[in-house]
Amino acid sequence: MRVKVLQTLKNIFLLIKFCSKTKQGKWGFCYAFIVISLKIVLIKISLEMIGWNKNFYNALEKYNLQEVVNQIGVFILLTLLGAITFLVSDYLRKISVITWRKVLNDTILDHWINNKAYWFLNNKPNEIDNPEQRIAEDCQLFVDKLTNEGFSFITQLIGLVTYFMLLWQITDNFVLSFNLLGFDISLSHYMVWLAPIYVIICSYLTHWLGSPLKALLIQQQHKEADYRFALTRFRESKEPIALLNGEKVERQILDQHFSDIMTNWYQLIKRQLFLGCFTRPYNLTVLQIPTFFALPIYLIGKVSLGSLMQISKTFSNVVVNLSWFIFNYHNLAELTACSHRLCQFINRARLIADIHNQQNQFQKDSQTLLINNLVIKNPDGKVLLKLPELRINKGESIILSGMSGIGKSTLFKLLSGIYPYYEGYFELPKANKLFLSQNPYFPMGGLAHAVAYPNPLLEKDLDSIKQILTEVGFLAQDIEQKLLDYDLNRLSGGEKQRLIIARILLHKPDWIFMDETTNALDKHSEHQLLKLLQTNLPTSSFIIISHSDVSSHFKQCNQIIL
């Protein structure tokens, strides 16, 4: 239990440290200071309201109409001041939420995108699942709970000390005397001691009933994210599903994901019901219990009605502040869960950064790609491909051929620095390189955005891009209609590969790695586009994975059968 609490606090403080990294994040602390100060003002207003209770009810007891009217005016003034202070405090708290969320979001995105962590995390789903959920939801949830429960804890602690001292003062003459089993017992300040005893017992019961909530909340987030991912995957794969009439199987998959959500949901609400069976009655009675505790003193005539109400109000504030843990248990469970997920994500991304840095050590200031005794394995250790030796000088090209599944594409992943399972040595030049996978990726936008990728589209490049699109076979009317805004997933396989050739022509890399980049084209179109590449990039080196021999299209090109 102690270890878990310390780990949770460590996670929370680490994330707070990230929130304070930038100038913008430091402004969030300024907002936080103002919010806490305003909440302290609310405590002062609450103290004035406690005094008002005594004066108002004493005036009622004495039938003093003028004083009653005056106290109503004081009540209205205190209410207005309290409302204005609360609204300003809440507004600034929400400003701090979006401020810190921006900083934390940027930090998590850096960990996810830098060093290609998004790739490595995707290949180990059992360790980190649904990273998009952690970025989109957990950052917002953490900051919201931190500013709500965190600020509340600080001010409740200050309020507790204040109300406790006041309760001690106004019960200075309170002595509860009674006889128990023949012993005379006297309790001085008994109202002061009753408050913590009452709350400690209730807090223990709350934790005992609610402790399983953390795991259930984490599971619920995971299962909700899995369901959203399945729906998105269904939408993105609508064409092959429709062609194969796979709706029945897809519906079964979606139903299974939702069934998992329902199963965990029932467990979650059952646990919340158990917790609510205690916390709800507690919430409803916590403001009345103090009056019952103070009744013995009032009934024996030691205090007036006003003093009774003052004591009751003060005791209630002490109990409410002590009950912060009970009232916020569910929110604290969510804060604990999301801080755990975010820190797990960050720690894993840091390990990946070390792997990526190790890969970068093979970038050399040379004009040669060199491989010696390279053995590529799958994650389970099974050997996929062996390359005893390979040397390619700048300007030379090779065609890699072989049976499907032997590791040709994995070789490209290794050379690009995103595959860590290998033995042996390889050396890459630091020159400009472009790796093109079997499945072409295009960003949101039109043809021009696809050609410019992975760089952002610049207006000065539009004329060059239009010219290149014409050269690779796009019609002029299609270029104008689809240049800046178009769903590129609607393009045919051949059109997508023409876009890839256009991308190569625009970027003019020194080393081009093409993984079956022209396999969707007819032979005539393939011949024309490869000739276009050779003509425009005569000094570039091409390393091409292809099941057909296209070496005749390039100078100084050999075919290697793997």
The SS3 of residue 485 is coil
The SS3 of residue 165 is helix
**Same domain membership, residue 28 and residue 86:** yes
Q: Is residue 421 part of a domain?
A: yes
Q: Identify the CA nearest to 345 among candidates 150, 149, 125, 141.
A: 125
How many CB atoms are closer than 10 A to CB 156? Answer: 23
**Same domain membership, residue 189 and residue 64:** yes
Q: Is residue 364 part of a domain?
A: no
**Same domain membership, residue 280 and residue 322:** yes
Helix, strand, coil % over all residues of the chain, rounded to 5: 70, 10, 20
Torsion of CA 252, 255, 260, 263, to 10 degrees: -130
Residue ranges of the chain with per-residue pLDDT less than 50: 125
CB 510 within 8 A of CB 486: no
**Same domain membership, residue 55 and residue 191:** yes
**Same domain membership, residue 535 and residue 491:** yes
Q: How many angstroms separate the most distant Cα atoms in the chain?
A: 112
Spell out the SS3 assignment of 14-59. Answer: HHHHHHCCCHHHHHHHHHHHHHHHHHHHHHHHHHHHHHHHHHHHHH
Identify residue 491 by its one-letter amino acid code: L
Q: Of 358, 378, 401, which marks where a domain is finished?
A: 358
pLDDT at 88: 92
Q: What angle do CA 248, 252, 254 make, to 5 degrees?
A: 115
CB 400 within 8 A of CB 409: no
Tokens of residue 294, six digits: 């103070």
46: domain CATH number is: 1.20.1560.10
Identify residue 410 by its one-letter amino acid code: T
**Same domain membership, residue 377 and residue 330:** no
The helix-helix angle for 247-285 and 190-210 (nearest 10°) equals 170
**Same domain membership, residue 307 and residue 171:** yes
- 285 forms beta bridges with none
Q: Of 358, 385, 403, which marks where a domain is finished?
A: 358
**Same domain membership, residue 329 and residue 420:** no
CB 31 within 8 A of CB 99: yes
The SS3 of residue 246 is coil
pLDDT at 361: 54
Phi, psi for residue 431 in degrees, rounded to 5: -65, 170
Q: Is residue 157 part of a domain?
A: yes
Tokens of residue 205, six digits: 């019961």
* Cα(338)–Cα(283) distance, integer angstroms: 26
CB 86 within 8 A of CB 125: no
Q: Is residue 243 part of a domain?
A: yes
CA 473 vs. chain centroid, Å, equals 43
pLDDT at 414: 84
Domain ranges, residue 75: 1-358
Identify residue 27 by its one-letter amino acid code: W
Q: Of 358, 378, 402, which marks where a domain is finished?
A: 358
Q: Is residue 324 part of a domain?
A: yes
526: domain CATH number is: 3.40.50.300
* Cα(27)–Cα(50) distance, integer angstroms: 35
pTM: 0.64
**Same domain membership, residue 554 and residue 462:** yes
Q: Is residue 388 part of a domain?
A: yes
pLDDT at 517: 83
pLDDT at 81: 92
pLDDT digits (tens, 9 = 90+) for 478-509: 888 888 888 888 888 888 888 999 999 999 99
**Same domain membership, residue 458 and residue 337:** no
**Same domain membership, residue 190 and residue 71:** yes
Tokens of residue 19, six digits: 């929130």
Count of the separate structural domains present in the chain: 2
The SS3 of residue 187 is strand
Q: Is residue 363 part of a domain?
A: no
* Cα(511)–Cα(394) distance, integer angstroms: 8
* Cα(462)–Cα(365) distance, integer angstroms: 33
pLDDT at 549: 65
**Same domain membership, residue 113 and residue 229:** yes
